[in-house]
Amino acid sequence: MMRALLCTILLACAAACAQAAGPAHFAARPEVRAFIREMVEQHGFVQHELEYVFSRARREPAILEAIQPPAPPARRPWDAYRAIFVNDRHIRAGGEFWQAHARVLERAQRESGVPAEVIVSILGIETFYGRSTGRWRVVDALATLAFDYPPRAGFFRGELANYLRLARDSGIDVFSVRGSYAGAIGIPQFMPSSYLRYAVDFDGDGAVDLRASAADAIGSVANYLKQHGWQAGAPVIAAASVSGEGYKTFADGSVEPKHAAAELAKAGVRFDGVPAEARAALIELDNGDAPREYRLGLANFYVLTRYNRSSFYATAVADLAAALRAAFQPEGR
């Protein structure tokens, strides 16, 4: 009797320890089982196959640490952020990528209206032109955030569902795909929902592959921006300076181009080359202890923020694109 009781206690302790450790036990959790039922009922999955997936998915504490927003003092100032991407290394490698894929980029620009240098810039900032696409298993990243990150659990459960659909419908091994800690995939770092909606087969091989096909990545970035309203031939951003106090009303953190340039000029914002009737946002770039920088973000700048909502990100894309255009431009452009 005592021996049986001891065995029971030891088994209970082992189970508790395993549950606390948590890396391979998503399948036993009630909320995961409910998610599996939804996937079976709504998307035609086989229950035991998903149970197998979640029995092997790992909870990654490091991802929960990485996803936390930095405290305000820890936020990198604009100059330091820009220097990470707009530098000789990125420009040189971007020129090599542009030259290697010049025909594909030319076709993408022709079909979408998105300049080649903007596409190259995005791929350079996202993954250094496909050389650094992420080390986390996407299923682990999305499961961890879907079930253990309450602030955005709904969003990540949706992305997890889309990833499982993508893997099933594309015949991809669900455990083979690696990406960012947030579950972004491939050379352009598309979330699964964007992969399903905007990724295109641009190399004509009958399959969409954002992990290995530079052509598919190029065409998909172009398609994403086009579908979000990119205006062919229109500017993205303009340098600006400010004076007085009136401009502060417009430096509200919004990236939406909702103010006429003439209205901003009356408030003390100075710029060149932007028509008075153009709609713009005043972009304020915090430099920590150094003076802030200002830009006018136009309609295409807003489109860039649909790819990544950070004004720092969109400005870096525009600046790197300008540097690439100045340093490397195929003949005839």
Cα–Cα dist 129/217, whole Å:
10
CB 242 within 8 A of CB 270: yes
User: For the chain, what's the residue count?
Assistant: 333
pLDDT at residue 15, as a whole number: 35
Cα–Cα dist 183/108, whole Å:
26
pLDDT at residue 32, as a whole number: 98
pLDDT at residue 7, as a whole number: 38
The residue ranges of DSSP E strands in the chain, in sequence order, are 136-137, 178-179, 237-242, 259-260, 269-271, 279-285, 293-297
pLDDT at residue 6, as a whole number: 34
CB 201 within 8 A of CB 225: no
- Count CA within 13 A, CB hemisphere, residue 94: 31
pLDDT at residue 70, as a whole number: 76
CB 194 within 8 A of CB 158: no
Cα–Cα dist 33/51, whole Å:
8
pLDDT at residue 126, as a whole number: 99
Lookup result for tokens 């971007």: 94
In a domain, 267, yes or no: yes
pLDDT in tens, 77-126: 999 999 999 999 999 999 999 999 999 999 999 999 999 999 999 999 99
pLDDT in tens, 146-188: 999 999 999 999 999 999 999 999 999 999 999 999 999 999 9
In a domain, 265, yes or no: yes
In a domain, 162, yes or no: no
4 compared with 328, residue with greater pLDDT: 328
In what order do the strands lie in the sheet containing 269-271? 259-260, 279-285, 293-297, 237-242, 269-271
Indicate the SS3 state at residue 127.
helix
Q: In this model, does residue 2 exceed pLDDT 80? A: no
Angle at 128 between CA 125 and CA 131, to 5 degrees: 150
pLDDT at residue 5, as a whole number: 34
Q: What is the mean pLDDT of residues 280-308?
A: 97
In a domain, 258, yes or no: yes
Q: In this model, does residue 282 exceed pLDDT 90? A: yes
User: How large is the C-alpha radius of gyration of the chain?
Assistant: 24
Q: Residue 202 carries which side chain, given as an amino acid letter? A: F
The domain containing residue 284 runs over which residues? Answer: 237-297
For the CA atoms of 15, 21, 25, 28, the dihedral, rounded to the nearest 10 degrees, stands at: 50
pLDDT in tens, 31-81: 999 999 999 999 999 999 999 999 999 999 999 999 998 776 667 899 999
pLDDT at residue 331, as a whole number: 53
pLDDT at residue 72, as a whole number: 67
pLDDT at residue 75, as a whole number: 76
In a domain, 226, yes or no: no
Cα–Cα dist 25/51, whole Å:
10
pLDDT in tens, 72-89: 666 789 999 999 999 999
Number of domains in the chain: 1
Bridge partner list, 285? 293
In a domain, 193, yes or no: no
Q: In this model, does residue 8 exceed pLDDT 90? A: no
Cα–Cα dist 128/123, whole Å:
6
In a domain, 39, yes or no: no
Angle at 106 between CA 103 and CA 111, to 5 degrees: 125
For the whole model, what pTM was predicted? 0.90
pLDDT in tens, 206-244: 999 999 999 999 999 999 999 999 999 999 999 999 999
In a domain, 269, yes or no: yes
Q: In this model, does residue 312 exceed pLDDT 70? A: yes
pLDDT at residue 240, as a whole number: 98
pLDDT at residue 249, as a whole number: 96
Nearest in space to 197 (alpha carbons), one of 172, 220, 164: 220
Nearest in space to 307 (alpha carbons), one of 245, 239, 226: 226
- Mind telling me the catalytic residues? 126
Angle at 100 between CA 94 and CA 106, to 5 degrees: 90
- Count CA within 13 A, CB hemisphere, residue 185: 33
